[in-house]
Structure 1
């Protein structure tokens, strides 16, 4: 049923305002700024610990820990969107769907890497087109391949605008890194909150049940 509704949305078309999505992402961050910053600092600390003391095992962090850690922002965004109280453990709910998320990240990145290695442009296309894949799995209930494909097909409708949206988010996080990572404590959660908001705007009626 959801796949049929997604097909209908693609056929009808859609649009979105990047500035509005970013502003709402920042407002969502302001609902729980301290918890968002604390969780982001935890992620940054874990990354540094692996890079400094366990560099040969960094790939394990990227494969097994990073996907569910970052996914936690989506669960928090969902609770904030529903006006529910957020507690710190909510950020770790990504581990409740760890297998699905890890599979999506692994397969998605492998396919994207192959696309970049082969012709570059297909890799860039897929990197943007898979932006909703984890959200499709969590809130759409799809298996990893269906989540990847439904994300790709939906985003392709307005791929260039999603590409611009992704560039803005990338620039936002680069600035965060250049401020000695201090700005990253804001830019990183806002990135995930804004992505969630855009996903919810487009699919609210589709996954309402």
Structure 2
């Protein structure tokens, strides 16, 4: 991604249609429903295995495995958006960015927790503000601090709208949980797809096209 173009997007401020984002996420989910549900079942199985049989190592899973695994949804969403062929193994492409995802997720989580300890509200602000930090790592190629700051600054331009977006996703998953938890097989993938779609729509003008990438190389 082009930093100068990202800065112009941030300076101009952003807005989006919540209903449109969720509708696009639903259409994206439906087009690869079996893969998305299958991957969600796999994630649930891994988490259950750690909880039941390796409880002492659950924290290690959360730190070192969960970030690249869940980012598989973002990477598959990107392939769907680009009309590229999707194979189940594409969900594991997050491991190509393993170290940067782990460090970014860990540091941003620590900062959010510290924010919550400081009168709660700063933590909520950062929890919403960092929603795109892992996407900036994957699709922008930025380090952890740059990714965190770009995400925070982008969200800050319309924080209340992003808060409503995050709250909508939380309610969506609550409905999925109440549906005998089976609904989570749909709502959790839709959550990640929604975040990706919103990220892509907001940053598309800063993406480096193939010709520009060749020039940079």
**TM-score, normalized by length of structure 2?**
0.94
Corresponding position of 1:97: 97
Give, in angstroms, the shift of residue 84 of structure 1.
0.8
- Report the 3-state secondary structure (helix = DSSP H, G, I; strand = E; otherwise coil) of the residue aligned with 2:180: coil
Corresponding position of 2:120: 120
Unaligned runs of 5+ in 1: none
Corresponding position of 2:86: 86
Report runs of 4+ in structure 1 exceeding 3 Å deviation: none
Give, in angstroms, the shift of residue 122 of structure 1.
0.4
1:37-48 maps to which residues of 2 (within 5 A)?
Answer: 37-48=37-48
Give, in angstroms, the shift of residue 65 of structure 1.
1.1
Corresponding position of 2:34: 34
The one-character-per-residue Cα deviations of 1:50-79 (angstroms, maximum 9, x if unpaired) are 111111111011111111110000110000
1:135-146 maps to which residues of 2 (within 5 A)?
Answer: 135-146=135-146
The one-character-per-residue Cα deviations of 1:27-70 (angstroms, maximum 9, x if unpaired) are 00011000100000000111111111111111011111111110
Corresponding position of 1:50: 50
Unaligned runs of 5+ in 2: 210-217
Q: Distance in 2 between matches of 1:154 and 1:37?
A: 31
For structure 1, which segment, 2-11 or 158-167, has the greater mean C-alpha deviation from structure 2 after superposition?
Answer: 2-11
**TM-score, normalized by length of structure 1?**
0.97
For structure 1, which segment, 15-24 or 169-178, has the greater mean C-alpha deviation from structure 2 after superposition?
Answer: 169-178
Structure 2 residue 203 is matched with structure 1 residue 206: no
